[in-house]
Amino acid sequence: MTSPPNLYHEKQKLQYCLIHTVNNILQKKEFDATKMDEICYGMNESKWFNPHRSWIGTGNYDANILIAALQKHNLKVVWFDKRLGVEKIKFEKLRAIVFNIPSRTLLTLYRGRHWFAVVQKNEKFYNLDSKLSAPTVIAEIANFTKNHVDSGDSEVMLVVEQDVDEDTVVEKI
Q: What DSSP string describes 80-98?
A: --TTS-GGGB-GGG-SEEE
Spatial separation of the C-alpha atoms in residues 54 and 113, rounded to whole Å: 12
Active-site entry in 17, 20, 37, 148:
17
Spatial separation of the C-alpha atoms in residues 164 and 93, rounded to whole Å: 8
Write out pLDDT tens, residues 101-143: 877 665 555 567 788 999 999 889 999 998 888 999 999 999 9
Q: Is 114 a catalytic residue?
A: yes
Q: Is 17 a catalytic residue?
A: yes
More confident residue, 117 or 2: 117
The candidate with the shortest Cα–Cα distance to 8, out of 25, 19, 18, 17, is 25
Q: Is 40 a catalytic residue?
A: no
- Three-state DSSP class for 24? helix
Contact 75, 82 (CB under 8 A): no
Write out pLDDT tens, residues 42-62: 655 655 565 445 555 555 667
Q: Which domains does the chain have, with CATH numbers?
A: 17-168 (3.90.70.40)
